[in-house]
Structure 1
Amino acid sequence: MNIPNQITISRILLIPIFMVFLLIDFGWGSLTLLGAVIPLSHFIAALIFIVAAATDWLDGYYARRYNLVTSMGKFLDPLADKLLITAAFVGLVGLDMFPAWAAVVILSREFAVTGLRLVASGSGEVIAASIWGKWKTVSQIVAASALLLHNIIFELVNFPFDVVMIYIAVILTVFSGVDYFIKNKHVLLDAQ
């Protein structure tokens, strides 16, 4: 297994650690940081989430820079992204910090595109991430990070950056999903 794929696997392995800090109240108290009051466990969860999300950029950069792009990486990288985002949004819904309707829309798109990729892989085709899929991922990571950090910085100016990012993430998620199905409709037509 090459280094980019190992980095992707590390992202997956960080997910349960992230979830422990997000969902378990260790009674460590809170800290006030740049206008936001953040439970210390949420702050640690946010840092783990941001590090895990940063590995998405790192593995892609490393794979392209050293010509280590593989079919496994093209499949594993978006799967790792989906697992990380799913964990974050489901955890945030459970904490009443993320609207369930938005999680349903986002996760439905993720399952649908994963299904499309599975059908394509049945005929030996790999559907790589599109530019819209990448922007979708960035918007979801920013939305989750803003929520995990309790709208840090923006609390100082009373701007609901986290809420704005939820809507941007939902819009880009739906748009990129439609884009994947339009560009890859041949996969479904050929599978009949």
Structure 2
Amino acid sequence: MVQGLDFSKSKLSGLIPPTIGECSNLLYLDLSKNSFQGHIPTSLPDLKGLEYIDLSSNNLSGSIPSLGNLQYLQLLNLSENKLQGEVPSQGVFLNASGVFLDGNPELCRGIADLGLPKCTITRSHSGRSQGLLIAISAATIVTLTVFVFLVMLFLKRKRTRRQSSTETENEDSKNLEAFEGNLSRVSGRPDR
């Protein structure tokens, strides 16, 4: 039964395999001084018996997963990576002397004792703003569509009235001529 993995300084690269979480009997894990990249595997918290984790001096990025359920974890070294975001505030992170995070300039504190800068609160209104923008756009499109429809309807009616008026004038002229013709026959006057 393997209780520890030490692959430090092994020139390993790529992603840390997510299957690392299946090594349920591990007490220590040292993958430091390699070229691992990507996120810390989300399966790492499944190693409930871990006492020591060293993932320092790699190219790991993203946020630190919650390790609060690793109740035996006494030392966590994540220094010299590219980690970012707020550091969790439970478990091993409550013991500042057992956590090493130097060399990750984009990390911010979860706990003041870690000596990290405060996290800036960036309340994202982008979701609301995007929803508002979509609603305004939809309302504008509907309004323009109704406006164009009304203009087309107005122009069609105007054209229909013009045609109707012209037809009525032609009929009136014909009727007037017919009437005058009938009138001249009755009165005995010749047609024009």
Structure scoring higher RCO (CA < 8 A, sep ≥ 6) equals 1
Q: Which has the higher helix share?
A: 1
Q: Which has the higher strand share?
A: 2
TM range (shorter): under 0.3
* TM-score for the superposition, normalised by structure 1: 0.22
Bigger-Rg structure (1/2): 2
